[in-house]
Amino acid sequence: MERTFVMIKPDGVQRNLVGNIIACFEKKGLKIVGLKMMRIPRDLAEKHYGEHKDKPFFGPLVEYITSGPVVAMVLEGKDAVTTVREMMGATNPLKAAPGTIRATYGMDIGRNVVHGSDSPASAGREINLFFSPEELVDYRRDVDRWIYE
C-alpha cells in the first residue's frame, strides 16, 4: 500500500471543515495512519514549500500556512497519492471538477482548504518533514477485504 501526506490548511480549520474533509477520505476507503493538529513553525513551512522559494508568492504562502493551525495526516491505500489528488481537485477551486473537495469547499486559489502530495517522492519527503516514524501507526483493518481485491 502507498502512503501520502495531506494537510487541511488554516482556512479549512477555521471554517470547521476538518471532519468533513477527513470523512471524504475515510469514506473512499483510505486509512489514516498519522494525524495531528499543529501550528507550522516558519522554518518547517519554508522547507515544505522550498521548491517555490524563488517565486513571488513564496513569502505570502509561508505567511498564510503559518497563520493558524493545520491538520496534518498520513493516509494509506492503493494508489493513495493519485487517489487523494483526484479527490482534492484542481488547485484553483473554480476549475476543480464538481464533487471534489476543492470544488465543494474552496472559492479562491489561495484558500483552497487542502494540500496533498503530488508524487510518491513528494509524499515521502513531506511525511518525513511532518511526522516522526513513531507517530505513524501500522495496523490491519478487517474492512480492507471489502475495499481491495
CATH number (domain holding residue 46): 3.30.70.141
Tell me the binding residues for ATP: 9, 57, 85, 91, 102, 112
pLDDT of residue 30: 98
Beta-bridge partners for 8: 71, 114
The answer as to whether 149 is a domain residue is no
Q: Report the distance separating Cα 124 and Cα 106, nearest Å.
A: 26
**Residues annotated in a binding site:** 9, 57, 85, 91, 102, 112
Confidence of residue 56 (pLDDT cuts 50, 70, 90): confident
- Of residues 13, 15, 8, 136, the one with CA closest to residue 76: 136
Give how many domains the chain has, as a whole number: 1
In a domain, 39, yes or no: yes
pLDDT of residue 85 exceeding 90, the answer is yes
Closest C-alpha to 86, from 71, 106, 101, 104? 101
In a domain, 55, yes or no: yes
pLDDT number for residue 51? 82
pLDDT at 57: 87
List the domain range (segments joined by +) for residue 45: 2-136
pLDDT at residue 50 tops 90:
no
This prediction's pTM: 0.94
| Reported confidence tier of residue 103, pLDDT bands at 50, 70, 90 | very high
Give the span between the Cα atoms of 33 and 20, in whole angstroms: 18
> 73, 115, 116, 123: which is the annotated catalytic residue?
115
Q: pLDDT tens digit string along 129-139?
A: 999 999 999 99
Residue 48 is a catalytic residue: no
Entry field: residues in the chain: 149
Indicate the SS3 state at residue 72: strand
Inside any domain, residue 42: yes
What separation in angstroms does the CA of 127 have from each of 74, 95, 114, 130? 7, 28, 15, 5
Residue 146 lies in a domain: no
Instruction: Taking residues 115-144, report their average pLDDT.
Output: 97
The mean per-residue pLDDT over the stretch 4-13 comes to 98
pLDDT: is 77 or 54 the higher one?
Answer: 77
